[in-house]
């Protein structure tokens, strides 16, 4: 086994986005493409010598070939050990858990989250640092800079490792340790939730739930935790075996893409509770019978009920949400007398708040919820948190949510996405909107006066770094908001996201459909941003 030093040239498009480097599989299959990015990542570490790395992915097409390459490169670059999930499977939160538990220098997650998989689909590489969280911007910037100057990479000339067999194998001087994908992560969750109580609740027979793994990474996790450990009947976990093309689906847990689950919950005799996770297991969607819980409300409700759950019994230090997420969690924070933080979109922005102990729970409107137990959002964690609350309160999801609104008021909320818009059109839309901002404050638009109109800029309270241009916000005096952003995770054209929010204190009006309650703001968003005209679309592609 010899170390080869391979000559290469930079690729100009290796700048990581919201969640690592995401490209078509075919791009990653271009000779040297993956290798360059991995070497650039290793080069930004202080030293690889004697270090431990975690590697795994969501099981999508190209996961295993990519892992074989990474293992040989890790061996050539001096790592002493790589912990890799069996068959290459590790969910994103499980990877974060392993990095923290075994104090490794970091981990590499192979995933393009919910983006379609298969030979014609997407692939992605994300590096997480030693705190278990996605690399912060200064690291991803350094990686990108390195990709632009790279001339060689190192790889061991060796045979592939059997990723199906648990245990240790030598690759040169490095140890490859194939580990069970679920065990460490399941142990961590067991320290946070009252598994016995949930088990009894399920055994009582008065409560039925289903979990849709959407043929992606959470299948093995869901089967082990819900069915084997908590005793839920076989079949509780649906689409529970990971497939390389995710069964041709789009494993994004929302009302549009999780249609199979939605159809089962939106009937009068369906299960009491339904949940789904995404490709790499970090997102979650929560449903009751005939009831959808918005991710923003879900975060607020978990926070308000946190002391019912063993891991959070002592209370929360603070709650953090991304800027476009509704302000419902802020109202809970206010009542609890704890700080509420507003960060840009992207889980990485929560890292410093969690590390410094300022925030305990975090969440995003994009179906991400999590806490300081790892440094990623965590789909199964959110489902278990809900199960724990349901087991203690013995009420339906709808009752819990409507009671929450009665206490705190309801933040009507919806996101309208326009996917696959030509990039120049989307940029023009944002530019012309930006130009209007200085004229908006103080104006009456529709029924409300504009309190502020700006492009969101965030200063991290820990390292003082500033992230500018994080989305256009138009806020009204009554707390309503319209937010415009271009997605940072797409791989084709641009996705315009329009986030709409209106606060309603009066319980008499809480039963309204969100699209109806937000009608005026929806019209206003279109006239302000010229959405129909500039995108050429008469309606959004996805409404959540
Ligand atoms: C990923 C990130 C999230 C982010 C979401 C949407 O899931 O981990 O932090 O909120 O993508 O990002 P986007 O830029 O597409 O709105
Ligand atoms: Zn994901």
Q: Which residue carries 């008065």 as its tokens? A: 206
345 lines ligand 1 (CB under 6 A): yes
Atom of ligand 1 nearest to the CA of 18: 14
Ligand nearest to the CA of 295: 1
497 lines ligand 1 (CB under 6 A): yes
Per-residue model confidence as pLDDT tens digits over 147-188: 999 999 999 999 999 999 999 999 999 999 999 999 999 999
Which residues, in sequence order, are CB contacts of 235 under 8 Å at separation 6+? none
What confidence score (pLDDT) does residue 1 get? 77
Q: Average the pLDDT over each of 32-41, 302-311, 373-382, 521-530 and give the range with the smallest value.
A: 521-530
Per-residue model confidence as pLDDT tens digits over 511-522: 999 999 999 999
The proportion of the chain whose per-residue pLDDT surpasses 70, expressed as a percent, equals 100
DSSP code of 161? Answer: P
- Centre of ligand 1 from the C-alpha of residue 490, in Å: 9
Q: Average the pLDDT over each of 32-36, 46-50, 98-102 and give the range with the smallest value.
A: 46-50
Give the mean pLDDT of 204-225. Answer: 96
Ligand nearest to the CA of 364: 1
Nearest CA to ligand 1 atom 13: 487
Helix (H, G, I), strand (E, B) or coil at 502: strand
Per-residue model confidence as pLDDT tens digits over 314-338: 999 999 999 999 999 999 999 999 9
β-pairing, 494-504 vs 481-486, is antiparallel
- Centre of ligand 1 from the C-alpha of residue 72, in Å: 31
What confidence score (pLDDT) does residue 123 get? 95
Residue 360 has pLDDT above 80, yes or no: yes
Which residues, in sequence order, are CB contacts of 98 under 8 Å at separation 6+? 54, 83, 90, 104, 107, 179, 184, 185
Q: Average the pLDDT over each of 252-256, 282-286, 414-418 and give the range with the smallest value.
A: 252-256
Residue 256 has pLDDT above 90, yes or no: no
β-pairing, 319-322 vs 361-364, is parallel
The CA angle 478-483-487, to the nearest 5 degrees, is: 160
Which residues, in sequence order, are CB contacts of 18 under 8 Å at separation 6+? 345, 346, 487, 488, 489
Residue 447 has pLDDT above 80, yes or no: no
Atom of ligand 1 nearest to the CA of 497: 16
Nearest CA to ligand 1 atom 16: 487
Using 50, 70 and 90 to split pLDDT, how confident is the model at 491?
low
CA distance 468 to 99: 30
491 lines ligand 1 (CB under 6 A): no
What confidence score (pLDDT) does residue 492 get? 73
Per-residue model confidence as pLDDT tens digits over 103-114: 999 999 999 988
Domains 2-181 and 185-408 share a fold: yes
What confidence score (pLDDT) does residue 165 get? 97
The closest alpha carbon to 216, from 235, 184, 188, 238, belongs to 238
CA distance 220 to 223: 5
Assign a CATH topology to domain 185-408: Alpha-D-Glucose-1,6-Bisphosphate; Chain A, domain 3 (3.40.120)
What confidence score (pLDDT) does residue 260 get? 92
18 lines ligand 1 (CB under 6 A): yes
409 lines ligand 1 (CB under 6 A): no
φ, ψ of residue 411 in degrees (nearest 5): -95, 95
Per-residue model confidence as pLDDT tens digits over 25-46: 999 999 999 999 999 999 999 9
CA distance 300 to 400: 12
Assign a CATH topology to domain 410-543: TATA-Binding Protein (3.30.310)
- Centre of ligand 1 from the C-alpha of residue 19, in Å: 7
CA torsion angle 101 104 110 113 (round to 10): 40
Domain spans, the chain: 2-181, 185-408, 410-543
> Taking each helix axis from N to C terminus, what angle separates 92-101 and 379-393, rounded to the nearest 10 degrees?
90
List C-alpha distances in Å: 225 to 125, 206, 437, 449.
27, 20, 49, 50
Per-residue model confidence as pLDDT tens digits over 123-137: 999 999 999 999 988
80 lines ligand 1 (CB under 6 A): no
Pull the structure tokens for residue 293.
Answer: 């819980």
Atom of ligand 1 nearest to the CA of 347: 9
Ligand nearest to the CA of 58: 2
Answer for the pair 317, 346: CB distance below 8 angstroms, yes or no: no
* 2-181 CATH choice from 3.20.20.70, 3.40.1180.10, 3.40.120.10, 3.40.50.300: 3.40.120.10
CA distance 40 to 44: 6
Higher pLDDT residue, 272 or 537? Answer: 272
502 lines ligand 1 (CB under 6 A): no
Q: Is 107 exposed, middle or buried (0-12, 13-18, 19+ CB in 10 A)?
A: buried
Atom of ligand 1 nearest to the CA of 365: 10
DSSP code of 206? Answer: S
Active site residues: 113
φ, ψ of residue 467 in degrees (nearest 5): -115, 115
240 lines ligand 1 (CB under 6 A): no
The continuous run of DSSP H or E covering 424 comes out as helix 423-440
Per-residue model confidence as pLDDT tens digits over 59-77: 999 999 999 999 999 999 9
Atom of ligand 1 nearest to the CA of 278: 7
Q: What ipTM was assigned to the predicted interfaces of this complex? A: 0.96
Give the mean pLDDT of 377-398. Answer: 98
Instruction: Calculate the average pLDDT of the chain.
Output: 95
Helix (H, G, I), strand (E, B) or coil at 77: coil
């Amino acid at each position: 086994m010899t170390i080869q030093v391979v000559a290469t040239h930079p690729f100009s498009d290796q700048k990581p986005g919201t969640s690592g480097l995401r490209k078509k599989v075919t791009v990653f299959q271009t000779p040297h493409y993956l290798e360059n990015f991995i070497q650039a990542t290793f080069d930004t570490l202080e030293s690889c010598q004697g270090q431990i790395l975690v590697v795994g992915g969501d099981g999508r097409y190209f996961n295993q070939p990519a892992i074989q390459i990474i293992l040989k490169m890790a061996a050539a670059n001096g790592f002493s050990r790589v912990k890799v999930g069996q068959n290459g499977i590790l969910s994103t939160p499980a990877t974060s858990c392993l990095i923290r538990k075994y104090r490794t220098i970091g981990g590499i997650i192979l995933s393009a989250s919910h983006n379609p998989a298969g030979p014609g689909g997407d692939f992605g590489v994300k590096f997480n640092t030693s705190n278990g969280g996605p690399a912060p911007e200064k690291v991803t910037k350094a990686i990108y800079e390195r990709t632009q100057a790279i001339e060689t990479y190192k790889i061991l000339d060796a045979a592939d490792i059997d990723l199906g067999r648990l245990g240790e194998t030598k690759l040169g001087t490095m140890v490859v340790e194939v580990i069970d994908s679920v065990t460490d992560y399941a142990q961590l969750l067991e320290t946070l939730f009252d598994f016995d109580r949930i088990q009894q609740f399920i055994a009582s027979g008065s409560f039925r739930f289903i979990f849709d793994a959407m043929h992606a990474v959470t299948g093995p996790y869901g089967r082990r935790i819900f069915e084997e450990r908590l005793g839920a009947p076989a079949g509780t976990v649906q689409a529970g075996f990971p497939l390389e093309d995710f069964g041709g689906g789009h494993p994004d847990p929302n009302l549009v893409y999780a249609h199979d689950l939605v159809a089962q919950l939106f009937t009068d005799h369906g299960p009491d509770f339904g949940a789904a996770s995404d490709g790499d297991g970090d997102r979650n969607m929560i449903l009751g019978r005939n009831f959808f819980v918005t991710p923003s409300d879900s975060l607020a409700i978990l926070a308000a009920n946190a002391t019912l759950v063993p891991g959070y019994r002592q209370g929360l230090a603070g709650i953090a949400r991304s800027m476009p997420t509704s302000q419902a969690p802020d109202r809970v924070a206010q009542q609890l007398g704890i700080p509420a933080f507003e960060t840009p979109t992207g889980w990485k922005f929560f890292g410093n708040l969690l590390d410094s102990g300022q925030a305990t729970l975090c969440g995003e409107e994009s179906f991400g919820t999590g806490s300081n137990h790892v440094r990623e959002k965590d789909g199964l964690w959110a489902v278990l948190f809900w199960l724990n609350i349901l087991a203690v309160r013995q009420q339906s999801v709808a009752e819990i949510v409507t009671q929450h609104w009665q206490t705190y008021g309801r933040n009507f909320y919806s996101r309208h996405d326009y996917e696959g818009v030509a990039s120049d059109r989307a940029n023009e839309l944002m530019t012309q909107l930006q130009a209007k901002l200085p004229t908006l404050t103080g104006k009456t638009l529709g029924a409300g006066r504009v309190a502020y109109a700006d492009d969101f800029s965030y200063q991290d309270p820990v390292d003082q770094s500033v992230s500018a241009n994080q989305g256009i916000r138009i806020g009204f005096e009554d707390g309503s908001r319209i937010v415009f952003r271009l997605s940072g995770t797409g791989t084709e054209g641009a996705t315009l996201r329009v986030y709409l929010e209106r606060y309603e204190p009066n319980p008499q009006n809480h039963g309204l459909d969100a699209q109806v309650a937000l009608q005026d703001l929806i019209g206003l968003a279109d006239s302000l941003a010229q959405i129909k005209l500039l995108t050429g679309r008469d309606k959004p592609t996805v409404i959540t």
